[in-house]
Structure 1
């Protein structure tokens, strides 16, 4: 049986194929005919893909093209070294703390999960590959923005309405800048009830060779299971992020100059 996920991938492939082909940006009717689905289904699926930033209307609004989220996923998938190095570290965090752990990258105003390891004890909205969450009210989002100045945050989030999130989420750019400034020295974000009620995100930035933040490594813990372990959990997440930087860098050095198959 073909799943909704499979149909979504087929639809994304069809949009990309049409965009780079001779027909140009496809419309709903063209996509429905090509995939053998009715236009109502296509419309719903395009709306869902659009919410993830994977597709968007073309400049004239007549058809569809792949969106910025697609290129973020492609870039993340292309950095096989980062993802491969992250997997055992994420599994190690889950094994130690029995909580979900994941790796995120930024796509505009959202944090996009590109790798995740689930936990049998609990779940997290963000800890699923392809999940998108706001950058302003989540641990990984704030970790991805940790180096941004208040001016840079204002330029990025000036049109964003700070609505939703958890009870302790910030509600404007100034508050976000102040909270990030407090976390910057520690190199670690502990987002207590900022996204999900009674859940704490522990997130650390992952830096590339230039020193810029390229990803965020996170673990989510229900508050009732913290039991005085916050400092140890934070240290383990920060340590895993630092280990990921070293492993990804070492892998890149080993493969530099290797001929492409």
Structure 2
């Protein structure tokens, strides 16, 4: 089944392809015909993408082009040091737990998957490069916001409606801030049925040289397969995130000729 995220990625790809091609900036009707969707669907999806600055109207307002958010995502996804350093760590997590593992960065109110290693149930929507999931109801999203105060969360999520997600998702900023405060000391977020009805996300923040959170490393486990493994999985994800920080800093240091920690 094609997900909303898949359709959003297809729509973004169609806008980019038209912009780079000879047809110019595409309009709603052109995009609807190309993707086989009705114009009402296309209009809603474009509105959502525009809110994230992934697309914008062209200068004359006749069609759509990729926006500044797209280029910000491209820059984040193009962080070769982080992505390259993450790959073996993600493979190790998949080998150990036989569950999908992935690396995310934040794009405003969404978590973008920039590197992933699948497992035998790799259809999990977040564990695919290019997937975008809400920050407020996912493990990686909450890990990316782990340092945010309640006031900072309120400002960031001011226009977000806490609708959707899994049955145990936070439903307002206060609840989200309380969960993050509880997880902050542990150093890892355990998002139990916050995004999918039967899945637990284990996510740890990855910090850059300044100490700020720059990414999140995650493993997702179906609830029926979790058993008594939660503590061990959480600890392994946190260790992998710490190892990623060291490896990425080392790669960057060698490239730039800077001393590494």
Q: TM-score range with shorter-chain normalisation?
A: 0.7 to 0.9
Shift of 1:65: 2.4
Partner Cα distance (2:194, 2:59) in 1:
35
Partner Cα distance (2:122, 2:77) in 1:
26
Structure 2 regions of 5+ residues with no counterpart? 1-6
Residue pair 1:86, 1:103 contacting (<8 A) in 2 also: yes
1:106 alignment counterpart: 106
Residue pair 1:217, 1:241 contacting (<8 A) in 2 also: yes
Q: Does 1:125 align with 2:125?
A: yes
Partner of 1:169, secondary structure, is: coil
Q: Does 1:41 align with 2:41?
A: no
Shift of 1:123: 3.6
1:56 alignment counterpart: 56
Residue pair 2:15, 2:25 contacting (<8 A) in 1 also: no
Are the structure 2 counterparts of residues 62 and 8 from structure 1 closer, same or farther at C-alpha, using a change threshold of 3 Å? closer
Partner Cα distance (1:256, 1:139) in 2:
32
Q: Does 1:87 align with 2:91?
A: no
Partner Cα distance (1:147, 1:39) in 2:
40
In the superposition, the TM-score normalised over structure 2's length comes to 0.83
May I ask how many residue pairs the two structures share in their alignment? 244
2:3 alignment counterpart: none
2:25 alignment counterpart: 26
Residue pair 2:18, 2:26 contacting (<8 A) in 1 also: no
Q: Deviations over 1:39-76 (max 9, x none)?
A: 62169597667755532334764332213441233112
Partner of 1:225, secondary structure, is: helix
Residue pair 2:106, 2:112 contacting (<8 A) in 1 also: yes
Shift of 1:205: 0.4
Are the structure 2 counterparts of residues 162 and 60 from structure 1 closer, same or farther at C-alpha, using a change threshold of 3 Å? farther
1:229 alignment counterpart: 229
Partner Cα distance (1:129, 1:69) in 2:
17
1:96 alignment counterpart: 96
Partner Cα distance (2:36, 2:57) in 1:
12
Are the structure 2 counterparts of residues 108 and 43 from structure 1 closer, same or farther at C-alpha, using a change threshold of 3 Å? farther
Partner Cα distance (2:184, 2:10) in 1:
41
In the superposition, the TM-score normalised over structure 1's length comes to 0.83
Are the structure 2 counterparts of residues 137 and 256 from structure 1 closer, same or farther at C-alpha, using a change threshold of 3 Å? same
Q: Give the root-mean-square deviation of aligned CA atoms.
A: 3.0
Partner Cα distance (1:228, 1:120) in 2:
21
Are the structure 2 counterparts of residues 27 and 104 from structure 1 closer, same or farther at C-alpha, using a change threshold of 3 Å? same
Partner of 2:147, secondary structure, is: coil
Structure 1 regions of 5+ residues with no counterpart? 33-37
